[in-house]
Amino acid sequence: MKNIGVILAGGSGRRLGSELPKQFIVIAGKTVLAHTLHTFEKHERIDEIILVVHKDYIKETEEIVRLEGFQKVKHIVPGGKERYHSTLAALNVYKDEPCHLIIHDAVRLLVTSRIIDHVIEALESHAACTAAIPSTDTILQSDTSRQFVDNIPDRSTLFQVQTPQGFHSDILTEAYNKALSDPEFFSTDDCGVVKRYLPETPIKITQGLPFNIKLTYKEDLSIIERLLLSELK
Residue-wise pLDDT tens digits, 55-72: 999 999 999 999 999 999
Residue 122 or residue 20, greater confidence: 122
Give me the domains of the chain, ranges plus CATH numbers.
Answer: 3-232 (3.90.550.10)
76-96 pLDDT tens trace = 999 988 999 999 999 999 999
Helix (H) or strand (E) holding 66: helix 58-68
Residue 142's beta-bridge partner residues? 149
Q: What is the pLDDT of residues 127-184, one digit of tens each?
A: 999 999 999 999 999 999 999 999 999 999 999 999 999 999 999 999 999 999 999 9
Residue 230 pLDDT class (50, 70, 90 cuts)? confident
This prediction has a pTM of 0.94
166 phi/psi in degrees, rounded to 5: -120, 145
Using an 8 Å Cβ cutoff, are 152 and 141 in contact? yes
Return the pLDDT at 12. Answer: 60
Q: How far apart are CA 31 and CA 53, in angstroms?
A: 14
- Helix (H) or strand (E) holding 40, with range, is helix 32-42
Share the mean pLDDT of the chain.
94
- Residue 120's contacts (CB-CB under 8 Å, 6 or more residues apart) are 3, 45, 100, 102, 166
The pLDDT > 90 percentage for the chain reads 89
Does residue 17 surpass a pLDDT of 70?
no
Q: 89 near 81, Cβ under 8 Å?
A: no
Is a pLDDT exceeding 60 seen at residue 15?
Answer: no
